[in-house]
Structure 1
Amino acid sequence: MARQRGNRWQADVVLDGKRERKSFASEAEALAYERAVASGKPLPGAITFHQFHREHFSYLWGDIKAPQAVQFNLDALDKLIPPETPIPDISSSYIIGLVNKMKASGSSNATINRRLSTLSRLLRHAEAMEMMHRPRIAYLKETEGRERVLSRDEEARAILFFEHMGLLEAKALFNFLLYTGCRLGETFTLPKDRVRDGRVTFHYTVTKTSKTRIIPLVGPAATAWADISKLHRGHERPFGGYPRDTFRNHWNRLRDHLAPGDDEFVPHMLRHTCASRLVSKGIPLPQVMLWMGHKNIQTTMRYSHLAPKDLDMAALALMEA
């Protein structure tokens, strides 16, 4: 007999000698499912993948720092999963098919894994609601991280491109990311009162590591902040007045101009470039760690090869001792 569980209704049936519980949006759907099983008729369709993630998005991701990134992954999955696909139909073999489609489209392993992570959380929730048995998801092997850095020549050409095309917001965001090393998501939530006295504060509520960091606002970054503040004078969060989708479009135009076909030419490489330049100029790794807001020194150590003179200086110190 169907019974209510929270705001949904659960049907309790026996299929092929095994007891099964499935969840439905209404009592009528649950009862119809039970009657269909008892009579041997074709089973009514379960809630679809698209319906399920729309209904449960707020519950699963409403309080995270960057829900837009999750929505971007779900939008990508919606293009691969037909809208009429019931959530229980997403099996391990079905997911392997999704991975093959994403590989064929040119998606990187890192991109595929982010989408699989979003899918996994959604299916874990469906399992908790007793709608399905969660399938096994095998993640793909990723490289240690992007190694792409921006050369000084590419930086100059990018600035010229943005100026020539009249993309002043893109130019400001480009320089701010490059000369602060901050994450893209940290810029869009940065309010005016956290930039003062030549420093910028990235509050723990918006950082990936949940720790506040304060860094100097230097040169092009200071100019970029002044420019975006003028362009969005009435906006409490100046970069927030520049839609992410618009920036993504502007960035793709820049990539097509400077580095067509280079899938590592992404905004995050500006953060990687900032860290690389700090280390190559001899800034000690613990200070780079603080500037970048890395959670641990192991993350910063990936840049250590850019400071080859460190061991030479250590050898010299031994000789002088």
Structure 2
Amino acid sequence: MLVLREGFWYIDLTHPVTSKRVRKSTKTTDKKQAEALHAKIQNDMFMSQWEGDKPKECELTLQEAYDKAVKQRWSRSGTPDTVQYNFNRLVRFLDRATLIRDVTSPLIWEVIGELRDDSYPDSTINRSLAVLSTILKMARDDWEVLGKIPKVPKLDEGSGRLRWLQEGEEEVITDWFRAKGDNDMGDLIEVLLDTGCRVSEVLELRNNDVLLDDRMLVLRKTKKGSWDTQPLTNRALQIFARRTKMFDLPFGGLTRHAAIHRFHTMKKHCGFESDKELILHTMRHTTASRLVMKGTDLKRVQEFMRHADINTTLRYAKLSTKEKLKTAEVLEIVV
């Protein structure tokens, strides 16, 4: 606001982010000139606010931010061990070296999908998300190294919903990427659907991990920390045969962050933006669901998906409403 003092106009403004107060004389008795200067300073403040949403100097990794939060908050909370346990669960699927400025809403939902795939209930996942939320809020409010931060969801405990692709959705997704000339993403989606692999497993493949003659992938870094193999369908085999001839690494030009960002862009253009459950990890759920719905023995599904616990596989045994109706039709015929 402008304040008239002893014939001169003074500016009195508060910064929208830092709350720093600016009080200075315009050195003019002309109100219009004072208003113009006031508007310029106010505009500079707001420009600083928006440009500061993601400061270039913010190079804190997730691990560094966590360590800082422990010292300032959790070391005196009486529950540091519990916090550490919840954080360790989170970083199984969110790299400790991730810059906190790179933590986005789509990335958070990918991590949720990975945790659900590992049979963690939503109540347990919420505890890990609470740790992440606290770290991000401290980075914004206490350390002032972030401006805007993503909303960390609180899951509806007890639902544990698994999202898989419905009829026609695969074509909508892959067609959009192909139409944009993004064959990296088009190929990735089809490989994920045909192998049931995790995104990180596919992106980290080397050419010598693709055994074309044996129709097999060698996964050198699995969730369990050991190596494993995964068979290839005809479609996946053709994709890898093409890509290993063209590139030094099958998906060497694609990082996890880039894949998640491009998938999120597709969602906005294809009408899926509000569907938070539709993530890249949904492809893995789709693979398991398709196998079960086609009547594959659950033990074989477990082996194909590399589930350590059969209970993880059993979650996919819940048929869709359409499949239940088909079962009822069979009973009608029998009767």
Preserved contact between residue 62 and residue 96 of structure 2 (Cα < 8 Å) = no
Per-residue deviation at 1:284? Answer: 0.7
Asked if the contact 2:200/2:256 (under 8 Å) is kept, the reply is no
Which deviates more from structure 2 when the two are superposed, residues 159-168 or residues 300-309?
300-309
Tell me, what secondary structure is at the counterpart of 1:215?
strand
Question: Does the alignment pair 1:262 with 2:275?
Answer: yes
Contact 1:77 1:115 in 2 (8 A): no
**How do 1:1-321 and structure 2 match up within 5 A?**
53-54=63-64, 69-72=95-98, 74-75=100-101, 113-116=127-130, 142-143=157-158, 145-196=160-211, 197-203=214-220, 206-231=221-246, 233=247, 235=248, 237-258=249-270, 259-306=272-319
CA displacement 1:28-78 (0-9 Å, x = unmatched): xxxxxxxxxxxxxxxxxxxxx959943998xx99xx997853344844789
What secondary structure sits across from 1:152 in the alignment?
A: coil
Cα–Cα, structure 1 residues 150 and 222, in superposed 2: closer, same or farther, change >3 Å?
Answer: same
Separation in 1 of the partners of 2:98 and 2:125?
Answer: 11
Q: Kindly tell me: are residues 67 and 269 of structure 1, through their superposed partners in 2, closer, same or farther at Cα, counting changes over 3 Å?
A: closer
* Separation in structure 2 between the aligned mates of residue 161 and residue 78 of structure 1, nearest angstrom: 23
Does structure 2 conserve the Cα–Cα contact (< 8 Å) formed by 1:179 and 1:218? yes
The offset of 1:241, in angstroms, is 2.6
Which moved further from structure 2: 150-159 or 280-289? 150-159
Change (3 A) 1:110 1:246: farther
Q: Which runs of 4+ in 1 moved over 3 A?
A: 49-57, 64-79, 108-121, 139-146, 210-213
Whole-angstrom CA distance in 2 between matches of 1:150 and 1:111: 23
The TM-score with structure 2 as length reference comes to 0.52
List alignment gaps of at least 5 residues for structure 2.
1-58, 68-83, 106-121, 136-153
Aligned to 2:268, the other structure's residue is in SS state helix
The alpha carbon displacement at 1:140 in A equals: 6.6
> TM-score, length-normalised on structure 1?
0.54
The number of residues matched between the two structures is 210
Q: Distance in 2 between matches of 1:74 and 1:160?
A: 33
Q: Is residue 62–residue 99 contact of structure 2 (8 Å, CA) maintained in 1? A: no
Q: Confirm or deny: 8 A CA contact 2:63 2:97 kept in the other structure.
A: no
Distance 1:215 1:170 in 2: 20
Give the aligned CA root-mean-square deviation in angstroms. 4.1
1:121-143 CA-to-partner distances (Å, cap 9, x unmatched) read 9xxxxxxxxxxxxxxxxx97645
Kindly indicate whether the alpha-carbon contact (under 8 Å) linking 1:278 and 1:288 is maintained by their aligned counterparts in 2. Answer: yes
Structure 1 segments unaligned to the other structure (5+ residues): 1-48, 80-107, 122-138, 317-321
Contact 2:123 2:157 in 1 (8 A): yes
Structure 1 pair 67–110 and aligned structure 2 pair: CA distance change class (3 A): closer
